[in-house]
Structure 1
């Protein structure tokens, strides 16, 4: 049997790289470091995988750089030795960091995944009394985000919202700060529809 280092470099790393590239729309540079021993590999267990990627695009969301560490990974090693593709057998806990520039954010505004996510966040932030005034303002199908402005301490998104009164300008702006490594705090927040500003309550977003 190949030593763990040979099996990892000759079989597992290329298989993981192929699988990751199949999940991404684009990536310029992908580096993979796998930590495991022979007995662990035979059981389909990988204690840790570290990934680094440059200029990655996932479902239309652009990232200049990302580093992710995944631990306690279960894979289909029995199938792989028979020529089957790499597959995860269970959800994988990950930690990491990403670098998102204003150019990345601007390029991502057309992403359905980002539009859906923004709509869900805004819907959670808007209190019921303001929600009654605005209607289903956060419905992704009604908003087209056009411009992103990203600052060290804040974010502003500008776009158009279509409703029964026709298209109207919409602006979402918020301060940004980490409450802790897993929580992003949005404050102060303001939503402007047409010429009317609506101050919104502070909000904490769980990053997982």
Structure 2
């Protein structure tokens, strides 16, 4: 009987540790975003691994998460080989990563959510910077662009906006092709919208965008109304 009580007490402690850890992970995730609709966390670890602060795997599912003003429709993540400050967490302190974590995931962004994100500095600045790099002779950072709409097509992005130059507002309509060159490099190509018109912008221009060594994208798909991305990223402490 005493042995059974000991096992029960041990199981209760592990269950409490799991609950505390799950709560800590959710709090940490919520701290990374300004808004989130649905969040599910599943921790896969043995009793000994939990107590030592080493977790082989954590599965995360979230919908409508807002990161720096960018609305992500749906995201599924699996983080592996995680080492955390378990002792501090059990004392009520925030979760902290002790080592770089490899995260594999699938991300979906719907067109309507992408357009809802146009007011964010993160997206609007990224689009303007990208345009300067793809078409440097036609656009500069000194000419602000107010982005109005993004339309997602098969492997293409149609951008509509307004450019202000010398108090004059000019409508813009630009089509960019997007292709995956490698795990961390994207090729952006300017595609003429009116190929039969005499316009210097109708010359195809391309730019390779390096996402950094911490990123490894296996799939990037643009279909009408939706962007789908699958890959891996390193999350540093």
TM range (shorter): 0.7 to 0.9
2:168 aligns with one of 143, 149, 166: 166
Tell me which residue corresponds to 1:205: 209
Superimposed CA distance per residue, residues 71-105 of structure 1 (whole angstroms, 9 cap, x where no aligned partner): 23222212112111222234432221211111011
Contact 2:147–2:162, Cα closer than 8 Å, also in 1: yes
Q: RCO (CA 8 Å, sep 6+): is it higher in 1 or 2? A: 2
Q: Go from structure 1 to structure 2 and tell me whether the alpha carbon gap of 1:121 and 1:32 turns closer, same or farther (over 3 Å shift).
A: same
2:104 is aligned with 1:100: no
Q: CA deviation at 1:161?
A: 2.2
SS of the residue aligned with 1:26? coil
Tell me which residue corresponds to 1:152: 154
SS of the residue aligned with 2:98? coil
Tell me which residue corresponds to 1:119: 128
Q: Go from structure 1 to structure 2 and tell me whether the alpha carbon gap of 1:135 and 1:154 turns closer, same or farther (over 3 Å shift).
A: closer
In 2, Cα distance between equivalents of 1:122 and 1:5? 53
Q: CA deviation at 1:155?
A: 0.6
Computing the radius of gyration from Cα coordinates, the structure with the larger value is: 2
Contact 1:80–1:86, Cα closer than 8 Å, also in 2: yes
Contact 1:191–1:197, Cα closer than 8 Å, also in 2: no
Unaligned runs of 5+ in 2: 1-9, 216-237
Tell me which residue corresponds to 1:58: 67
Q: CA deviation at 1:26?
A: 2.1
* TM-score, L = length of structure 1: 0.79
Q: Go from structure 1 to structure 2 and tell me whether the alpha carbon gap of 1:97 and 1:206 turns closer, same or farther (over 3 Å shift).
A: farther
SS of the residue aligned with 1:100? strand
